[in-house]
Amino acid sequence: MVTVRTVPVPALRRGLRQGLADSGPVGLGAVPMGVAFGVLVAHSGLAWWWASVFSGLIYAGSLEFLFLGLVLVSAPLGTVAMTAFLVNFRHVFYALSFPLDRVRGRLGKLYSTFALSDEAYAVAAGTDAASFGGGRVLRLQAFVHLYWAGGATAGALLGTVVPARVAGLDFAVTALFTVLALDAFRASAPGRRDVAGAVLAGACALAARLVLPGQMLPAAFALFTAALLARRALRRAGS
């Protein structure tokens, strides 16, 4: 006889309300970014439901904007793979401090790994989320996923009534990442704020933009990584 474990309705409602509250601040940025992506899909000539497929199954945020362009020009598979690797390489570092160990079950861990996004990481890896259990982490990620996929679907359906030339849609990802970075910096304890690291990151991004504008992202990552390693070496030498 198989016993099916059910969750009491009051507990389920509390969990959903909690997930909604945890994801609400970042959801305010994920929804319009998803809408922007959906509009771009609609104006690219693809069927509207491709926005749902991309956002639901690929679920890679900024990579989806790039992937859309690669699909439209029929880019080689090697180019797609390299682009995905360079853009999402930051997730390797996210995994070092993301609370995946709190998530139980293989399916839970599998989905949590798949749904590791910038927005979910910004919340779950913060000091305020130190007490989050595995279920709460999963609900946070599921809501963020829903915001993004729902926004993309809505944007694609409304794409026919939105002008094709809307300035700023492609800036949605940059704007969201900027807000997330500022919120994470402000949420850290005043005595632990790495002001020098933030200035160093900005300097590396500016240098990459001026020297290698066509490869700004990987160049900025490489410069920042080298700068952090050099700073660590200098600190260890001075101690």
Which position has the higher pLDDT, 116 or 162? 116
Which position has the higher pLDDT, 201 or 86? 201
- Alpha helix ranges (H) inside the chain: 9-44, 49-53, 62-72, 77-88, 90-97, 106-114, 118-124, 134-158, 172-187, 195-211, 216-238
pLDDT at 230 over 80: yes
What pLDDT score was predicted for residue 173? 63
What pLDDT score was predicted for residue 232? 85
State the amino acid at position 178 in one-letter form: T
Q: Are 41 and 160 in contact (CB under 8 A)?
A: no
* Size (the chain), residues: 239
Find the farthest-apart pair of alpha carbons in the chain and give their distance in angstroms, rounded: 67
Please compute the mean of the pLDDT values over residues 146-151 and round it to a whole number.
91
Rounded to an integer, what distance in angstroms lies between the CA atom of residue 38 and that of residue 147? Answer: 12
Dihedral sign for Cα atoms in the order 152, 31, 100, 188: positive
Token pair of 27 as six digits: 């959801």
For 27-65, how does the pLDDT look when each residue is reduced to its tens digit (9 = 90+)?
777 888 888 888 888 888 888 899 999 898 888 877 787
What pLDDT score was predicted for residue 150? 92
For 108-129, how does the pLDDT look when each residue is reduced to its tens digit (9 = 90+)?
999 999 988 888 888 888 777 7
Residues with Cβ < 8 Å from 121, sequence gap 6 or more?
Answer: 94, 98
CB-CB neighbours of 50 under 10 Å: 18
Q: Are 151 and 38 in contact (CB under 8 A)?
A: yes
Q: pLDDT grade, residue 149 (50/70/90)?
A: very high
Residues with Cβ < 8 Å from 198, sequence gap 6 or more?
Answer: 185
Rounded to an integer, what distance in angstroms lies between the CA atom of residue 29 and that of residue 148? Answer: 9
Query: Is 108 exposed, middle or buried, given 0-12, 13-18 or 19+ CB atoms closer than 10 A?
Result: middle
Where are the chain's structural domains? 9-166
Rounded to an integer, what distance in angstroms lies between the CA atom of residue 36 and that of residue 34? Answer: 5
Please compute the mean of the pLDDT values over residues 153-174 and round it to a whole number.
72
Instruction: Judge if pTM exceeds 0.75.
Output: no
